[in-house]
Amino acid sequence: MTNPPNGPGSPDGDDALSEMLRRMFGANAPDPEELRRALGGMGGGTGAGPGGLPFDPSQLDPAMMSQMMQQFQAMMQSSPEDGPVNWTLARQSARQAAAGQDPTVGTFARREIDEALRLAELWLDGATEIEATGLLGKAWSRAEWVEASMDTWQRLTEPVAVSMSEAMSRALKDQLPGQVPEEMQGMQGMLEGLQPMLQNMGGTMFGLQLGQAVGALAQEVLSGTDSGFPVAGHQLAMVPVNIEEFGDGLEVPDDQIRIYLALREVARMRLFVHSPWLERDLYAAIEQYAAGVHIDMSKIEDAARAIDPSDPESMQEAFAGASFIPEPTGPQKAALERLELTLALIEGWVDVVVTEAAQPLDAANALRETINRRRATGGPAEHAFGTLVGLDLRPRRLREAATLWEKIGESQGREYRDAIWRHPDLQPTPEDLDDPDGYVGRRQAREQESAGLDDELRKLLDGGFDGGGEQKGDGTGEDKGEDK
């Protein structure tokens, strides 16, 4: 019986297999016949191809094989710019995850978003003293949101990503060779060829998982600042397809939903544009947290042991959904508490200001409660992102922060309330969330204490004190009655 054209054992089939192995393993590529014998020894149960092989190479489409090889090489190879983490793959994976049901934003949808953002600017002028941004509104598809925000996600996750990818690669390099089937133990050339791949595997896997998490977020976010951060920079932007899905089942007119969400986007962006320190503080807290991250190697090693070398998907499944970052302690915990407080203060202020500005909307109260529940509980994508990098972007004390801003506005007025965002030293503390009525008194006490210290320092620098506390000289720096 002769082998079919391009089938196993045929010259064309062996040439194709040789080329595939050469591209995968370079000089260490095994001989096709040696590989065939090894695979045949692994058993050929139901559905096995000719000769007991687990698959039938004669059924492989050359074009499909070429595409698979290109994808495989892209996964295994990082560019020099990527470093330990395959950020290129992360971006590609995010775009692919966001691609499903992601229609191009049409002219009509762009006009609706633009009008909602313009109206939001006008309504907010009557609810806050913080000035308008002057930014133009944009309507993004999910893929456009990914492209606009990916650099920020890289910045937020890079310290954690590098540690995680190096730990994954180290565990895989130690664990995987010991799990190669006995029939393939003699193929040392191929196993040696796996080593460079294993060095990049951690960065590849983290990049793939991060991309999928960001792509999942792209299917949930309603605007550019919906996560609490200006992840897309200082751009007023909304995602129409997600807004439409958000409104399903709410029984609220679409235009009211757009306007309400536009009010929240514009309010946040006013804070970030006119209080530059706010964005810096948010990123500083994240970077302080990330700098202290350490990886639980025992959990990674356990995951690596669960990998089945004959099942490529098992490698991704072994690391998906598991958290390898222990509970934060010390400076990390302090950074996360500061981050959580700042996010709560931002969302609480936005909630109060938008509630006032949205009074013309009949559904304002219902939308407020829906949004606050959504922010408090988070969605599946937020949980996936939190598991991956150990960051929880949900402000737990949102309602307490909103109550604080309401009380400050009622007792001191809108101008006093909004001026708090001018300087980080004026920011409320956790104590203020616990006792909102006491914020003004505590702030006055701090300001009086600071003013007293400034006066004392000024006198000291002016030479206004001697050893006995009495004024010396006439303030000109010369002592009377002394000969020079």
pLDDT above 70 for 370: yes
* Cα distances (Å, whole numbers) of residue 283 to 231, 279, 339, 352: 11, 6, 9, 24
Please report, rounded to a whole number, the percentage of residues in the chain having pLDDT higher than 70: 60
Asked whether the predicted pLDDT for residue 170 surpasses 50, the reply is: yes
For residues 76 and 225, the model is more confident at: 225
Q: Tokens for 196, please give them.
A: 């460079």
Does residue 130 or residue 23 have the better pLDDT?
130
Summarize pLDDT for 229-265 with one digit per residue, the tens.
Answer: 898 999 999 999 999 999 998 999 999 999 999 999 9
| pLDDT band at residue 482 under the 50/70/90 scheme | very low
pLDDT at 52 over 50: no
193-207, 276-290, 356-370: least confidently modelled range: 193-207
Q: Is the pLDDT of residue 326 over 70?
A: no
Please indicate whether residue 466 or residue 353 has the higher confidence score (pLDDT). 353
Average pLDDT, integer, range 1-25: 53
Among the listed ranges 21-35, 182-196, 206-220, 447-461, which one has the minimum average pLDDT value?
182-196
Q: How confident is the model at residue 484 (pLDDT cuts 50, 70, 90)?
A: very low
Asked which of 19-23, 64-68, 119-123, 427-431 is least confident by mean pLDDT, the reply is 64-68
Burial class (CB within 10 angstroms; exposed 0-12, middle 13-18, buried 19+) of 334: middle
Cβ 424 vs Cβ 338: under 8 Å: no
Angle at 44 (CA atoms; ends 38, 48), nearest 5 degrees:
115
Q: What share of the chain in percent tops pLDDT 90? A: 38
What pLDDT score was predicted for residue 68? 47
Dist CA 228 CA 442 (whole Å): 28
The pLDDT of 397-404, averaged and rounded, is 93
What whole-number distance in Å separates Cα of residue 354 and Cα of residue 266?
10
Per-residue model confidence as pLDDT tens digits over 62-105: 555 554 455 555 555 555 455 667 888 889 989 988 887 888 99
Question: Is 260:361 a contact under the CB 8 Å cutoff?
Answer: yes
Per-residue confidence (pLDDT) for residue 475, from 0 to 100: 47
- Burial of 209-242, coded b for 16+ CB within 10 Å and e otherwise, reads bbbbbbbbbbbbbbbbbbbbbbbbeebbbbbbbb
Q: What is the mean pLDDT of the chain?
A: 76
**Amino acid occupying residue 334:** A
User: Is pLDDT of 275 > 50?
Assistant: yes
Backbone angles phi, psi at 138, to 5 degrees: -135, 150
Using DSSP, state whether 221 is helix, strand or coil: coil
- Of 1 and 423, the structure prediction assigns the larger pLDDT to 423
